[in-house]
Amino acid sequence: MLKLSQVDAFYGDAQALWDVELEVGSGEVVTLLGSNGAGKSTVLRAISGLLPIRKGAIAFNNIRLDQIDPFKIVGQGIAHVPEGRKVFPSMTVRDNLLAGAYHSNFWSKREETLENVFHMFPQLSDRRNQMAGTLSGGEQQMLAIGRGLMSNPRLLMLDEPSLGLAPKIVEMIFEIIISINKSGTTILLNEQNAHIALQVANRAYVMETGKITLSGAASELASNAHIRSAYLGF
Amino acid sequence: MITGKLIVEQLVNGLVLGCMYASIASGLTLIWGTMKMLNFAHGEFYMIGGYFVFFALNLLGIPGVWCLVISVAIVLVLGMLLEKSIIEPLLGKPGWELSPLVVTVGASIAIQNGALKLWGEHIKNLPYYIEGTVELMGVRLAYQRLMILFVTAFVMLGFWVYTKKSRFGLGLRAVAQDRDAATLMGIDFKRVYTVTFGISCAMAALAAALLSPIFSISPWMGHAALTKGFIAVVLGGLGSFEGAILAGVLLGSVESLAVIFLSSEWKDVVSFSIFIIMLTLKPAGLFGSKEW
């Protein structure tokens, strides 16, 4: 479904990605692991077009994402839930969600999709007229995911969904991620919390300083000695 | 002698002036809030707006109100063209904090001198669109002035509702609050910038079209408009649409009422004094750095 080939990316003159090769198959949950600054967010930003790539190709069902305008990518069926949530702080929960359906492909069905998202996230439904900036961290994460779902994506990309959240909330968020995958959406997930990420993923890639260093089935990597000491703490 | 009647008359004048300031200020704050830049050529779009009404009246001979509509429509398009030609190329290049400002200063100088060359330096007068007066509660009010109040209020309110309810308004607010997140939603921020810039210029032109029958037109009329508009923007809080309108109306009212007690040469002193006081006490303005 998604294929990155030999991708190089730069922030100004500083190279951030070196020859990245990555694949996500339809229906999978794939996770990108690595510590802060490893380049995981950069990979997602390259896919959704926020960062142009300098070498290589990014193909989604044979369409070259790196050759189309960034704002058109959501129309291809990819939703990016960015690092730090990035909800629109001075908009209500409802308006934030509607913004997720802005693209003409999804706008006409927005009220129906909105009700589905409210059904999945009753906490958001209760707060639909509240300003997004006043929500708690967990509520904002739900809002950001819900906003991503408003475009009925085939691939949902989540950047560090557990960041800054209490363990109980993290559990709840990941249960939601699993159920989204079960209903047919492919998931690409960045996580520093390797423990929970490897529980939900089918496959994983490990990144260090802008390069993919390891990849394989999640269960394999969970029992890999290097991974255990570096990322799982035991 | 200071009577209640004089105060009410000056208050109405103040509100009318306030409408002009509010219109200009709201355009400036709209651009700041959405694009994070200052348009120094804003006063020139005000000036062009006034001149196009003059030409439409003389060339087409149609009623003033239609000349107003034509002028605003033309300035809307001109604003969008300017944005696409000199502002958009600067996007993504370093120095965004300053480059649009510098480029619009250049545009301002070019447009002012172009107007001077093409249209001459003489002040031109425009006839009122609606003649006659009405008496309300013992005070005589010109229909032209009432028209200014109603049209400005209608347009400002209409635009505010539009930003809160429409798809375009949603896109505009999203781009203003988080441009990257907006792009992820499928919003083309470049298109939002272009249209927003055009709308902003059109608001300035509307102010000129409404007020030129009272204040007449000249190639440098944009300068004072920009200065007062900028003061109102800062008073209301950079980026706050509601703040710009409120501050504009207050500024116009206070200026006009001050003229009762001080001579009219002092009215600018009053405005600048308020400006300095606000910057000293509450630099963020009435509504602070509220995003909209």
Domain ranges within chain B, ordered by starting residue: 4-281
Residue B1 has a pLDDT of: 65
Sign of CA dihedral A109, A111, A112, A114: positive
- Answer whether B163's CB lies under 8 Å from B169's CB: yes
Domain boundaries, chain A: 1-76+189-234
Of A154 and B212, which is predicted with more confidence?
A154
CB within 8 Å: B187 and A71: yes
Question: Vertex B254, ends B250 and B256: CA angle to 5°?
Answer: 120
Q: How confident is the model at residue B172 (pLDDT cuts 50, 70, 90)?
A: very high
What's the whole-number mean pLDDT along residues B224-235? 92
Q: How confident is the model at residue B156 (pLDDT cuts 50, 70, 90)?
A: very high
**How many CB atoms are located within 10 Å of the residue B175 CB?**
26
Q: How confident is the model at residue B291 (pLDDT cuts 50, 70, 90)?
A: very low
Mutate to test the interface with A, among B91, B163, B178, B184 (most CBs of A within 10 A): B184
What's the whole-number mean pLDDT along residues B217-241? 90
**Which pLDDT tens digit goes with each residue over A23-57?**
999 999 999 999 888 899 999 999 999 999 999 99
Partner A contacted by B184 (CB < 8 A): yes
Task: Determine if residue A55 is left, alpha or beta; phi over 0 gives left, psi from -120 to 50 gives alpha, anything else beta.
Answer: beta
- Answer whether A150's CB lies under 8 Å from A80's CB: no
Residue B290: pLDDT over 70: no
pTM of the model: 0.91
Counted across chains A and B, CB pairs separated by less than 8 A come out at: 65
User: Which run of H or E residues covers position A157?
Assistant: strand A155-159
A residues 61-120 closer than 8 Å to B (CB): 69-75, 79-80, 82, 86-91, 95, 98-100, 102-103, 107
CB within 8 Å: A71 and B183: yes
Location of structure tokens 């509702």: B161
User: Among A11-20, B87-96, B121-130, which range has the highest average pLDDT?
Assistant: A11-20
- Answer whether A180's CB lies under 8 Å from A28's CB: no
**Which pLDDT tens digit goes with each residue over A163-203?**
989 999 999 999 999 999 999 999 999 998 888 999 999 99
CB within 8 Å: B180 and A50: yes
Q: How deeply is B81 buried, as exposed, middle or buried, from its count of CB atoms within 10 A (0-12, 13-18, 19+)?
A: middle
Residues 6+ apart with CB under 8 A from A3: A22, A23, A24, A57, A58, A59, A60
Of A197 and B95, which is predicted with more confidence?
A197
**Residue from the list B170, B188, B290 with its beta carbon closest to the beta carbon of A99:** B170
Q: A1-76+189-234 has which CATH code?
A: 3.40.50.300
Task: Tell me if the domain spanning B4-281 has CATH number 2.40.160.
Answer: no
Cα gap A148→A166, rounded to integer Å: 22
Strand partners, A212: A207
Distance from CA of A112 to the nearest CA of B (A): 16
What's the whole-number mean pLDDT along residues A117-133? 94
**Residue from the list B170, B182, B184 with its beta carbon closest to the beta carbon of A95:** B170
Partner A contacted by B257 (CB < 8 A): no
DSSP assignment string, B87-156: IGGGTTSS-TTTHHHHHHHHHHHHHHHHHHHHH-SS-B----SS--EEEETTEEEEHHHHHHHHHHHHHH
Residue B289 has a pLDDT of: 61
Chain A partners within 8 Å of B184 (Cβ): 48, 50, 74, 79-80, 82
In this structure, the strands spanning A186-191 and A203-208 are unpaired
CB within 8 Å: A90 and B187: no
User: Which run of H or E residues covers position A216?
Assistant: strand A211-217
Which of B181, B192, B228, B189 shows the shortest CA–CA distance to B26? B228
Amino acid identity of residue B196, one-letter, is T
Residue B24: pLDDT over 60: yes
Residue A233 has a pLDDT of: 63
Sign of CA dihedral B68, B71, B74, B78: negative
Retrieve residue B276's tokens. 């300095």
A residues 26-55 closer than 8 Å to B (CB): 48-50
CB within 8 Å: B183 and A87: no
Partner A contacted by B237 (CB < 8 A): no
Cα A48 off chain centre by? 10
DSSP assignment string, B48-68: HHHHHHHHHHHHH---HHHHH
Q: What is the percentage of chain A residues whose pLDDT exceeds 70? A: 99
